[in-house]
């Protein structure tokens, strides 16, 4: 137990901050995923063939390749690409992109693909009559989207988004391979220096279980709150 | 790009081996735990629930590290017969993947068991069919048919999961791609080629499941 004490002798405070880092990366990734989903959902639902193909390519490819691959591609490829762009502007030094940014971008792209599918399903389940009614009333397309479709879509997608959140939370453990100090990386370091991997990886497992359990409770509350009146 | 293809393909074979063996053991584990989950005894029930909660609530990477680094820490395991198995990263990966996919499979099968119409079982009972035969001949086939689409997704998720084997030194497709990246400093070529191979495998699995669904799927 003293291994988990706070301060210089134990790993308690390190693991605590690592947990906060995991939460931060998950939230950032989820937010980035939302942006991706809001861009690609209309593409997937659009009647234009080309836009449709672009939207389908995004979700199919991202959901078909391993998460680790996306992370490596952004981590190794991103640095190269950034240095290439910088060399055009005459800067030849080494550029290292922050692990937090690459990590949350990579996980965000992945969770975006899942969120896109969720949003698409939610929009498809909205009654057709509402689209027709707003058209008849002469409401403009984007106002129709922001005021009528979006609020309903978000409410309908809460249960499925909670699954996406769980996946995202667990996927953040993969960022540890790039060196970002979150729960997994911290327990790897702790396990290495104390030679007690069994204990520290169990602690990591418990921390993840706690996070999933608490977020489940929170999302259930949200779900009840927003399904009032239905 | 062509020169890196053979090494990536040899990695893909390891990936497929990992996938097939962990899906095989995972299916057995999943079936056992699904049966335990629908058991009415609360202790057995809770135990099966705890198993699936743990393996679905923690990242696969944690489970892999726990088995690969963690189990080696237990003294009596190191001195026992099991050491032959758990000292090999390959077997550790298969154990971790099987337990993980077993948890998900048990949930898929459980929900399939629970959605079977009561009428089928009642009809079997009224015809005097024994419980054992009802289970093997009626409940099990229906449950398997019903869970085919969800199980197909699980296979694809597991295919993506096997890429984690590369972090415990197994040279699967991902591991080979990493090696190529380190040797040639061409991350895009290495990882995009690997990605195409992964997509290709996903595509094939998807189509096989679709075919099976069409052939044996549950028509309602």
Q: Where are the domains of chain A?
A: 21-184
Beta strands in chain B (DSSP E): none
**Residue B58 with chain A: CB contacts under 8 Å:** 170, 204-205, 208-209, 212
Q: Tell me which long-range contacts B184-190 makes (C-beta under 8 A, separation of at least 24).
A: B184/B4, B187/A72, B187/A73, B187/A76, B187/A77, B187/A80, B188/A73, B188/A77, B188/A80, B189/B1, B189/B4, B190/B4
What does the pLDDT look like over B100-139, one tens digit per residue?
Answer: 999 999 999 999 988 888 888 899 989 998 988 988 888 8
Do the chains contact at B198 and A69, CB–CB below 8 Å?
Answer: yes
Q: Report the pLDDT value the prediction gives residue A1, as an integer from 0 to 100.
A: 62
**Domain range holding B19?**
5-216
Locus of tokens 């290292």:
A96
Q: Please return the burial class of B67, using the count of CB atoms within 10 Å of its CB with bins 0-12, 13-18 and 19+.
A: buried
**Among candidates A69, A188, A213 on the partner chain, residue whose Cβ is nearest the Cβ of B195:** A69
Cα-based distances in Å from B212 to A224, B27, B139, B203: 39, 17, 19, 14
Residue A206 in this model has a pLDDT that exceeds 80: yes
In the DSSP assignment, the letter for residue A182 is S
Fold of A21-184: MetI-like fold (1.10.3720)
What does the pLDDT look like over A156-200, one tens digit per residue?
Answer: 898 889 999 999 999 999 999 888 898 999 999 998 888 888 999
Residue A7 in this model has a pLDDT that exceeds 80: no
Q: Quote the tokens at residue A229.
A: 């009146």
Searching chain A, which residue's CA lies closest to the CA of residue B202? Answer: A64
Residue B31 and residue B35: Cα distance in Å, rounded? 6
How distant is the Cα of A45 from the closest Cα of chain B, in angstroms? 23
Do the chains contact at A73 and B199, CB–CB below 8 Å?
Answer: no
**Residue B195 with chain A: CB contacts under 8 Å:** 61, 65, 69, 73
CA B12 to chain centre: 17
Do the chains contact at A201 and B61, CB–CB below 8 Å?
Answer: no
How distant is the Cα of A228 from the closest Cα of chain B, in angstroms? 28
pTM for this predicted structure: 0.89
What does the pLDDT look like over A24-36, one tens digit per residue?
Answer: 999 999 999 999 9
Interface of B with A in 143-172 (CB under 8 A): 156, 159-164, 166-167
Searching chain B, which residue's CA lies closest to the CA of residue A214? Answer: B57
CATH number for the domain spanning B133: value is 1.10.3720.10
Q: Report the pLDDT value the prediction gives residue B84, as an integer from 0 to 100.
A: 82
**Residue B54 with chain A: CB contacts under 8 Å:** 205, 209
**Among candidates B61, B74, B192 on the partner chain, residue whose Cβ is nearest the Cβ of A173:** B61
What does the pLDDT look like over B15-69, one tens digit per residue?
Answer: 999 999 999 999 999 999 999 998 889 999 999 999 999 999 999 999 999 999 9
Residue A142 and residue A149: Cα distance in Å, rounded? 10
pLDDT level of residue B219 (50, 70, 90 thresholds)? low
**What is the number of structural domains in chain B?**
1
**Residue B62 with chain A: CB contacts under 8 Å:** 173, 184, 201, 204-205, 208
Q: Interface of chain A against chain B, CB under 8 Å? A: 61, 63-69, 72-73, 76-77, 80, 166, 170-174, 176-177, 184, 187-188, 191, 196-198, 201-202, 204-205, 208-209, 212-213
Searching chain B, which residue's CA lies closest to the CA of residue A194? Answer: B73
Residue B45 and residue B64: Cα distance in Å, rounded? 26
Q: Report the pLDDT value the prediction gives residue A151, as an integer from 0 to 100.
A: 87
Max CA pair span of chain A:
70
């Amino acid at each position: 137990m003293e291994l988990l004490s706070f301060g210089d002798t134990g790993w308690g405070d390190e693991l605590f901050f690592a947990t906060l880092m995991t939460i931060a990366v998950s939230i950032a990734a989820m937010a980035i995923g939302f942006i991706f989903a809001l861009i690609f959902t209309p593409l997937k639902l659009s009647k234009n063939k080309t836009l449709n193909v672009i939207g389908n390519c995004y979700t199919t490819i991202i959901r078909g390749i391993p998460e680790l691959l996306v992370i490596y591609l952004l981590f190794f490829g991103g640095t190269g690409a950034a240095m290439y762009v910088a060399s055009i502007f005459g800067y030849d030094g080494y550029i290292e992109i922050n692990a937090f940014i690459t990590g949350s971008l990579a996980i965000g792209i992945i969770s975006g693909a899942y969120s896109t599918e969720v949003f698409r399903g939610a929009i498809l389940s909205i009654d057709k009559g509402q689209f027709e009614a707003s058209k008849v009333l002469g409401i403009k397309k984007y106002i129709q989207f922001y005021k009528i479709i979006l609020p309903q879509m978000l409410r309908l997608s809460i249960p499925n988004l909670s699954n996406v959140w769980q996946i995202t939370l667990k996927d953040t453990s993969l960022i540890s391979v790039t060196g970002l100090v979150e729960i997994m990386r911290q327990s790897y370091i702790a396990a290495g220096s104390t030679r007690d991997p069994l204990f520290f990886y169990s602690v990591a497992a418990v921390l993840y279980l706690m996070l999933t359990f608490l977020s489940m409770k929170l999302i259930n509350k949200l779900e009840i709150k927003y399904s009032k009146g239905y | 790009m062509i020169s890196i293809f053979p090494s990536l393909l040899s990695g893909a074979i390891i990936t497929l081996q990992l996938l097939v063996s962990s899906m095989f053991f995972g299916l057995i584990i999943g079936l056992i735990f699904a049966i335990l989950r629908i058991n009415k005894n609360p202790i057995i029930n809770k135990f099966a629930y705890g198993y699936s909660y743990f393996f679905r609530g923690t990242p696969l990477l944690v489970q892999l590290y726990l088995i690969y680094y963690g189990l080696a820490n237990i003294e009596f395991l190191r001195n026992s017969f099991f050491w032959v198995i758990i000292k090999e990263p390959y077997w550790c990966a298969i154990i971790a993947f099987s337990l993980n996919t077993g948890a998900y499979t048990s949930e898929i099968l459980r929900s399939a068991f629970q959605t079977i119409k009561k009428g089928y079982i009642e009809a079997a009972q009224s015809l005097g069919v024994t419980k054992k035969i009802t289970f093997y001949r009626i409940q099990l086939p229906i449950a398997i048919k019903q869970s085919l689409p969800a199980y197909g997704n699980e296979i694809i998720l597991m295919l993506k999961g096997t890429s984690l084997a590369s972090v415990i030194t197994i040279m699967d497709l991902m591991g080979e791609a990493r090696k190529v990246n380190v040797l040639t400093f061409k991350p895009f070529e290495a990882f995009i080629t690997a990605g195409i191979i992964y997509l290709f495998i996903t595509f094939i699995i998807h189509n096989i499941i679709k075919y099976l669904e069409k052939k044996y799927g549950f028509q309602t």
